[in-house]
Structure 1
Amino acid sequence: MQRLRPIMFVGTGSDVGKSVINTGFCRIFLQDGYAPAPFKAQNMSLNSYATKDHLEIGRAQAVQAEACGIDCRVEMNPILLKPVNHCTSQVMLNGKPVGNKSAYDFFNKTDRDALFEEVMKSYRSLASVYNPMVIEGAGSISEINLWEKDIVNMRVALETQAAAFLVADIDKGGVFASVYGTVLLLPTVERNAMKGIIINKFRGDIGLFEEGKKKLEALTGKPVVGVIPYFSDVFIEQEDGVMLEKKLSVFSPSEINIGVVLLKHLSNFTDFNMLEQISGVNLFYTDVPDELVKADIIILPGSKNTLSDLKMLRINGLAKVILKHHQDGKPVYGICGGYQMMGKEISDPEGVEGDIAWLPGLGILPVTTILTRGKKTRQVGFTFVDESCRGEGYEIHAGYTESDHPLCRLDNGEGDGYYLNDFTWGTYIHGIFDNRSVIDHVLQTVKPGLHSEVDYNARKEAGYDRLAQIIRHHVDLEYIYQSMQL
């Protein structure tokens, strides 16, 4: 197959749709007979994924790899920042934690050239195998105060000689100012690397934007190569926590209402994507006690700061609702940090999460957790101990929870989680609800005989293909391919 230059999608800001567009082009190149791979030098997200070799990357790159038809690799996202609080993040380098850093220290007290070399080492490893490379930037490319520290945006575009395309979200408003300002602020060499503009999330008749395209092209000197419509009927797993704001809802007259406790440091909300796809199920996130009390099933999700979130459960009254729900014999389940919270106590003798050294848990499960430095990151296959369910998932967690009555038996023989009864259990396995047998097991506690019909893998594949179809229809692919010629 002909060798192509890499393509890179950069943005006027965060949450403009770069990840989704990147995913769509990954599938387009695969459909066209190429062997693409995704790459994002640095990501910030609490939604992560475990590679087959037990390393951790941002969920978006795992999704993009799936759209490419390949397994994800740590090189696809060599630096991952996982926020611990508003000012500090855990820094993951090449899939492993290297410590917590404040934003100030990360940008001002790390060797940016050394980090960039690590980034490019990963890129070169992938580029030697895959063609083309589909690169994603981060946030806005015109944060002029950060240019000298850039290791993820236009510095990557120049180093890789990528054909860069600027993505702007017209649904936010101010698209002319954001595009014009972004392009005109760029140094000449970076502006020359910009091959075109993609307007994303257009509502209404796209034909009405023809005059707008001409004005943008006149202002910037760059062609508008596509105007992609706003859509909400295509299923693509989303990584950005901004998506949670769009998932907040409340009780509805559905057959089954599932309330996911909205934690301040909630991680891996993609754990519940398949549950959202099931007819008759209303899944909602809430931190309001009067709303959570209406749920038929309560799920405690993962957390990047379990002790802090556990403390808040008591302060805001959610703990009382969860305990009453359990005492009434209704289903309560916990994943990862949520599982830890369901136990008798959590201790943090090494200060892994911060200043809280110990807290009593909710006392629903007879287990204790000790947080330790380091992290267990791996993909797993599992069977429920009663052999009623079989599935796959992944673990990403710090600490150890001793259990004498495991929920699951892993394929390597280890036990996982704690099983109290069909209505009450906890697990470290992210993605456990991606498995139909587990979902049926859970939903039948509320409605016996119910069977889910969703094939999650098929739903994802259909989403990638539909996304590719939309992009093909609304983007000038002939121009895209011309810009990628060597």
Structure 2
Amino acid sequence: MTKVFTLMVQGTTSDAGKSTLVAGLARALVRRGLRVAPFKPQNMALNSAVTADGGEIGRAQALQAVAARVAPHTDFNPVLLKPSSDIGAQVIIHGRPAANLSARDYHNYKPTAMAAVMQSWKRLTDAYECVLVEGAGSPAEINLRDRDIANMGFAEAADVPVILVADIDRGGVFAHLVGTLDLLSPSEQARVKGFVINRFRGDIGLLQSGLDWLEARTGRPVFGVLPYLHGLFLDAEDALADATVDGGGEVPVLRVVAPVYPRISNHTDLDALRLHPQVDFRWVGPGQEMPPADLIVMPGSKSVQSDLAWLREQGWDQAILKHLRYGGKVVGICGGFQMLGRSLGDPHGVEGRADTVSGLGVLDMATVLEREKQLENVHGTLCFGGDPVVSGYEIHMGVSSGPALQRPALMLAGDRPDGALSADGQVMGSYVHGLFDSPAALDALLRWAGAEGALDRVDLAARREADLDRLADSIESAIDIDALMRAAAS
């Protein structure tokens, strides 16, 4: 197979639009008939996905695989860092946990990580016509330049052309682009083929003088200016998605709240609730009082014991008990499910100090964290509401047991029970991420939580596909893709 080109998208800041641009370009190039693979050498995120080959990668690369219409694979994100504290992280190599390291120890580990990155890179460039690479953060972070594998360190090692993207909505876009370029070494500067400006709103004519100045100042083209796409839904890489969604004037039929733990993970599980026009959904952060709600959703956590302690500090333990006394419903997903039990043990110190702590005690079960992580794509049915189909994935190190599990919440393929539903029907827990994603399951869960009357259909997969096409349309309109491909090949 003849490779058409490779291209790396680096950003002047975090959230500049790297993930979005790679996803949109992937969809645009696939529509031209090319076979495309996304690639992020190193990602740091607590939102992850299970791949077709049974590993774990960052959620953004799974989304980019959807954009490229290929099955997610561990080679798309060979190194994933999942922070467990402010100075430490679980290191995932080729989809599997390799170590728990401090930031300093990981710096010494980087040559090993880089070897894994280059192995994946070779496999992808041998198999695909186009490989679109996403950087991490900014290449101008001086303190991270030594042994860099995420930005220019990788680009130099793999000899990949680069474009810089900057977010004009934040202001200072010209300073961001020029300053980033100036902080690169001469060989790295030579690798930068041009720029893309993201999230512009207003009269493009008023921006033209700045674009002309930027091209004259740097000697590099601006390949395009992407408009601000209001209401664009793409799975968040890590940052918490805004809970505010325009309901189109519909009256909410259900009030839903979810706590924002310090180590919240896979919060994309709640996207279907957040985007539902008839659901009043709110994240509740530190120091905020829990508002009245019909349903409390406990999302996943990378550090369950410490996040459970944080919940108690915030008064959530008493708020949940009060909520249940007044007839409210509670759903726990993965780590949130584990918190609902009687106890949580970590005998091997998998997520921190080896210890056993009391859970919230609303489900009669106990959980022990094991050394091996369970990673699996699953499907099955809810055990109520007409047995609607659920498709999702499991990512956890905890094994739960106890009487509560004798009333499972789901029945997975192979007659495997999952989760628990309390005898009074008020509390439900599951290890399955994606619990709310299918339209039928979402409808059943909303009705279980108290919603009545006609419910709008929210199909997350269909919405994702439509917005990827909308993004690709915007990119094809705003960016000269042929010029970009020629520059990348030069």
Look up the equivalent residue of 2:208 and give its one-letter code. Answer: E
C-alpha spacing 1:2/1:96, structure 2 compared with 1 (3 Å): closer
Q: 2:220 aligns with which of 222, 236, 247?
A: 222
Q: Secondary structure of 2:150's match?
A: coil
Matched-pair contact (CA < 8 Å) for 2:81–2:89: yes
1:296 and 1:205 mapped to 2: Cα distance? 44
1:240 and 1:120 mapped to 2: Cα distance? 24
Spell out, residue by residue over 1:54-110, the C-alpha distance to the aligned partner (whole angstroms, 9 max, x if none).
211000000000000111000000000001111111111111111211112111x22
**2:399: which partner in 1?**
400
Matched-pair contact (CA < 8 Å) for 2:293–2:328: no
Look up the equivalent residue of 2:428 and give its one-letter code. Answer: W
Matched-pair contact (CA < 8 Å) for 2:39–2:132: yes
Deviates more, 1:330-339 or 1:384-393: 384-393
**1:76: which partner in 2?**
76
**1:480: which partner in 2?**
484
Q: Does 1:444 align with 2:441?
A: no
Matched-pair contact (CA < 8 Å) for 2:369–2:397: yes
1:327 and 1:51 mapped to 2: Cα distance? 41
TM-score, normalised to structure 2, is 0.94
**2:438: which partner in 1?**
435
**2:353: which partner in 1?**
355
- What value does the CA root-mean-square deviation take over the aligned residues? 2.1
Q: Does 1:389 align with 2:388?
A: yes
Look up the equivalent residue of 1:118 and give its one-letter code. Answer: A
Matched-pair contact (CA < 8 Å) for 1:288–1:318: no
Spell out, residue by residue over 1:281-334, the C-alpha distance to the aligned partner (whole angstroms, 9 max, x if none).
121110368652312111000001111111111111111111111122211100
2:129 and 2:213 mapped to 1: Cα distance? 35
Look up the equivalent residue of 2:477 and give its one-letter code. Answer: H
Spell out, residue by residue over 1:366-418, the C-alpha distance to the aligned partner (whole angstroms, 9 max, x if none).
11101121210110011223462212100001110012222111113321111
After TM superposition, what 4+ stretches of structure 1 lie above 4 angstroms from structure 2? 288-291
Q: How many residues align?
A: 482
Q: 1:212 aligns with which of 205, 210, 213?
A: 210
Matched-pair contact (CA < 8 Å) for 1:265–1:303: yes
Task: Tell me how far 1:253 sits from its aligned partner.
Answer: 6.5
Q: Secondary structure of 1:66's match?
A: helix
Matched-pair contact (CA < 8 Å) for 2:340–2:361: yes
Matched-pair contact (CA < 8 Å) for 1:248–1:286: no
**2:119: which partner in 1?**
121
**1:415: which partner in 2?**
417
Matched-pair contact (CA < 8 Å) for 2:164–2:194: yes
**1:471: which partner in 2?**
475
Look up the equivalent residue of 2:421 and give its one-letter code. Answer: Y
2:362 and 2:225 mapped to 1: Cα distance? 52
1:356 and 1:287 mapped to 2: Cα distance? 27
Matched-pair contact (CA < 8 Å) for 1:206–1:229: no
Q: Which runs of 5+ in 2 are unaligned?
A: none
2:219 and 2:489 mapped to 1: Cα distance? 21
Q: What is the 5 A alignment of 1:97-176?
A: 97-107=97-107, 109-110=108-109, 112-176=110-174
Matched-pair contact (CA < 8 Å) for 1:39–1:135: yes
Q: Secondary structure of 2:255's match?
A: strand
2:318 and 2:12 mapped to 1: Cα distance? 44
2:295 and 2:124 mapped to 1: Cα distance? 43
Matched-pair contact (CA < 8 Å) for 1:184–1:220: no
Q: Secondary structure of 2:136's match?
A: strand
**1:87: which partner in 2?**
87
Matched-pair contact (CA < 8 Å) for 2:5–2:485: no
Spell out, residue by residue over 1:27-79, the C-alpha distance to the aligned partner (whole angstroms, 9 max, x if none).
01111110101000000000001112321100000000000011100000000
Q: Secondary structure of 1:156's match?
A: helix
Q: 2:374 aligns with which of 366, 372, 376?
A: 376
Matched-pair contact (CA < 8 Å) for 2:436–2:445: no
C-alpha spacing 1:61/1:360, structure 2 compared with 1 (3 Å): same
C-alpha spacing 1:9/1:288, structure 2 compared with 1 (3 Å): closer
Task: Tell me how far 1:348 sits from its aligned partner.
Answer: 1.2
| Identical-residue share of aligned pairs (%) | 40
Look up the equivalent residue of 1:439 and give its one-letter code. Answer: L
2:285 and 2:161 mapped to 1: Cα distance? 44
Matched-pair contact (CA < 8 Å) for 2:193–2:488: no
Look up the equivalent residue of 1:433 and give its one-letter code. Answer: F
Matched-pair contact (CA < 8 Å) for 2:298–2:333: yes
Task: Tell me how far 1:15 sits from its aligned partner.
Answer: 1.2
C-alpha spacing 1:21/1:290, structure 2 compared with 1 (3 Å): closer
Q: Secondary structure of 1:374's match?
A: strand
Task: Tell me how far 1:422 sits from its aligned partner.
Answer: 4.2
Task: Tell me how far 1:139 sits from its aligned partner.
Answer: 0.7
Spell out, residue by residue over 1:100-145, the C-alpha distance to the aligned partner (whole angstroms, 9 max, x if none).
11112111x22x3332221011011112111200110111111233
Task: Tell me how far 1:193 sits from its aligned partner.
Answer: 1.3
1:459 and 1:440 mapped to 2: Cα distance? 16
Deviates more, 1:184-193 or 1:441-450: 441-450
Task: Tell me how far 1:355 sits from its aligned partner.
Answer: 2.2
Q: Secondary structure of 1:358's match?
A: strand
Q: Secondary structure of 2:137's match?
A: strand
Q: Secondary structure of 1:149's match?
A: coil
1:115 and 1:311 mapped to 2: Cα distance? 33
2:414 and 2:407 mapped to 1: Cα distance? 17
**1:11: which partner in 2?**
11
Q: 2:243 aligns with which of 204, 223, 247?
A: 247
Spell out, residue by residue over 1:192-228, the C-alpha distance to the aligned partner (whole angstroms, 9 max, x if none).
1111111112232222110111111122221111111
2:229 and 2:350 mapped to 1: Cα distance? 41
Matched-pair contact (CA < 8 Å) for 1:6–1:161: no
Task: Tell me how far 1:485 sits from its aligned partner.
Answer: 3.4
